[in-house]
Chain A
Amino acid sequence: MKRSLRSTFGAAALAAVLLTGCSQSMSPGHGGMASPASTSATPAASLRTALNTLFAEHVYLAAAATGAALGGREAEFKAAAGALDANSVAIARAIGSVYGKDAEAAFLPLWRRHIGFVVDYTVGAASSDRGKQDKAVGELVAYTQDFGAFLSAANPNLPKSVVADLVKHHVVTLKEVIDAQAAKDPARAWAATRTAAGHMQQIADPLAEAIVKQFPDRYRG
């Protein structure tokens, strides 16, 4: 009998844990990939490396969380969701290290918001609720405009439409992961996870380059 996510531990619990993290959340800078401490030779290279690491980690942890959720593995799901939220905090701190604490505080809820929509999509996939999935996809696509607006406001070297398109591709590649997980097709799921993680370089690299262009004295090299 097919176990649904909803019947396993409930959509509300799923959303709550993914959105807020759990007590096992890692603190950025205390081990794991979340620490962007880099030994790259220049500040510019360090920035690029840190952003690539954090964004790729985002995909792997999101895939781990959705895979565990769809597989009904509650403890694993909670741990992955906690690590995913720690990654969100680390990404926000990276943004804050460039644009300040206020920007960090504004970025974190915006970033977490798209994870909430991914949760909605996953719940829809688990319960074969096409309407819920379509609604989540629509919200994710709309979200790409918000994300693009945030980064283009922070950095004039990042056109809103370009950022939005890149994030839209992130949404599409992550959706493929979840669809494969829901279809119980691990080979397709892991291949899609690699594709989704690899795509994040197309977000991290332009972001790093735009920041270096904006603050050439701070990010030499």
Chain B
Amino acid sequence: MRRWAVGGVALAQLVALAWGSWLLAGPSDVEVKVFQLRPGRLDVKVGRSVTWVNQDDIDHTVTSGTPASPGGTFDATLAGKGSTTTVTFATRGVYPYFCSRHQAMRGEIRAQ
């Protein structure tokens, strides 16, 4: 019975840890894989940082705005597989972005 309780507490702690790390990292990360942005649209709290991770063996960019109208807010290169870049969204707003090398790759960050 005690074992169960300890086990239960340990399980609860594990769940809490996993949930906490998911809250900290999971929803703020965008995976760039097979020329896709996953997720394509991401909602974050104002002040949060978003990290993009490139899983493709090619350069991509994370460029604010749209191909027709680049925003100039951020423009980072993901130089090959495993590269990352992080942007902090300090102001509320909707931030479309795209890859300047593969302009069909488009995403959106909503900071609120």
- Tell me the minimal C-beta distance from B31 to chain A in angstroms: 11
Given contacts A106-B105, A109-B104, contact A149 B36 (CB under 8 A): no
- Stretch from B7-15, B18-26, B51-59, B83-91 forming part of the interface with A: B51-59
A99 interfacial contact with B, CB 8 Å: yes
Q: How far is the CA of A148 from the CA of B105 in the complex (A)?
A: 17
- Give every chain A residue within 8 A of B33 (Cβ-Cβ): 153
Number of interface residues of A (CB under 8 A): 17
Q: How far is the CA of A136 from the CA of B24 in the complex (A)?
A: 45
Q: Which of A112-152 contact B (CB under 8 A)?
A: 145-146, 148-150, 152
* Proximity bits, B25-55, A CB within 8 Å = 1, else 0: 0000000011110000000000000000001
Interface size class of B (residues with CB under 8 A): 10 to 19
Q: How far is the CA of A153 from the CA of B55 in the complex (A)?
A: 8
Asked if B36 and A106 sit within 8 Å, CB to CB, the answer is: yes
- Tell me the minimal C-beta distance from A102 to chain B in angstroms: 5
Asked if B57 and A153 sit within 8 Å, CB to CB, the answer is: yes
- Give every chain A residue within 8 A of B55 (Cβ-Cβ): 153
- Which single member of A110, A148, A154 contacts B104 (CB below 8 Å)? A110
- Tell me the minimal C-beta distance from B77 to chain A in angstroms: 15
- Give every chain B residue within 8 A of A102 (Cβ-Cβ): 36
- Which single member of B57, B58, B104 contacts A106 (CB below 8 Å)? B104
- Tell me the minimal C-beta distance from B8 to chain A in angstroms: 39
A103 interfacial contact with B, CB 8 Å: yes
A175 interfacial contact with B, CB 8 Å: no
- Give every chain A residue within 8 A of B36 (Cβ-Cβ): 102-103, 106
B102 interfacial contact with A, CB 8 Å: yes
- Tell me the minimal C-beta distance from A210 to chain B in angstroms: 14
17 new A-B contacts, CB < 8 A, other than A106-B36, A153-B34, are A103-B34, A105-B104, A106-B34, A106-B105, A107-B35, A109-B103, A110-B102, A110-B104, A146-B58, A148-B57, A149-B56, A150-B35, A150-B56, A152-B57, A153-B35, A153-B55, A160-B57
Q: Which residues of A contact B (CB under 8 A)?
A: 99, 102-103, 105-107, 109-110, 145-146, 148-150, 152-154, 160
Q: Which residues of B contact A (CB under 8 A)?
A: 33-36, 55-58, 101-105
17 contacts across the A-B interface (CB closer than 8 A): A103-B34, A106-B105, A107-B35, A109-B103, A109-B104, A110-B104, A146-B58, A149-B56, A149-B57, A149-B58, A150-B34, A152-B57, A153-B33, A153-B34, A153-B55, A153-B57, A160-B57
Closest 3 CB pairs of A and B: A109-B104, A149-B58, A106-B35
